[in-house]
Amino acid sequence: MPALKINGRPVRIDAVDDMPLLWALRDTLGMTGTKYGCGIAQCGSCTVLIDGVATRSCQVPLSAVSSGKKIITIEGLAENGKLNKIQAAWLENDTPQCGYCQSGMIMAATALLAAKPNPTDADIDAAMTNICRCGTYQQVREAIHAAAKA
């Protein structure tokens, strides 16, 4: 029974060690903010933070994160019901369209701003490798710049 630390809380789940973190989050814990997109770590819909690093959870077995690594999901960003500055910037800049990729995008942006609080367009382009079928890349860039200024 893997023991995890998710959004600051210890969690024990009844799952096999090779279950992908994505499925443990969604199916076992009911945390559906992290999305399934491709299953091969290409699209980024399943991005979470593991020890502060944007990571595609569909390819991470529970055994790789059950050693006390800190996992943050989209559900863990807001505090006391208040959106964080990245989530707020996403809304203020009308970034989401269909919204499917947005939780992964927000998680990748969170890691980017933690590493580079004032990123350039080139920094954003290099860090934001998530795929958006709606093509909201310009709005993503604008939201990240707005969050950096907040």
pLDDT for 139 beyond 90:
yes
Q: What is the rounded average pLDDT of the residues 132-144?
A: 95
Predicted local confidence at residue 128, as pLDDT: 96
What pLDDT, in 10s, does the model give residues 93-129?
A: 999 888 889 999 999 999 999 999 999 999 999 999 9
1 has pLDDT over 80: no
| Integer CA distances (angstroms), 45 to 37, 41, 140, in order | 5, 9, 14
Q: How far is CA 31 from CA 21, 53, 103, 138, in A?
A: 11, 19, 12, 29
- Copy the structure tokens of residue 65: 């994160």
Tell me: the pLDDT tens digits for 13-68? Answer: 999 999 999 999 999 999 999 999 999 999 999 999 999 999 999 999 999 999 88
- The CA distance from 145 to 127, in Å, is 13
Q: Which CATH number fits domain 3-76: 3.40.30.10, 3.10.20.30, 3.30.1130.10, 1.10.10.10?
A: 3.10.20.30
Question: pLDDT digits over 69-100, tens only?
Answer: 999 999 999 999 999 999 999 999 999 888 88
pLDDT grade for 12, boundaries at 50, 70 and 90: very high
pLDDT at 31: 97
pLDDT of residue 3: 86
Q: Are 60 and 18 in contact (CB under 8 A)?
A: no
**Cα 27 from Cα 8, distance rounded (Å):** 20
Does residue 2 have a pLDDT over 90?
A: no
- Every domain of the chain with CATH number 1.10.150.120 lies at 85-149
What residue ranges of the chain are covered by domains with CATH 3.10.20.30?
Answer: 3-76
The CATH homologous superfamily to which domain 85-149 belongs is [2Fe-2S]-binding domain (1.10.150.120)
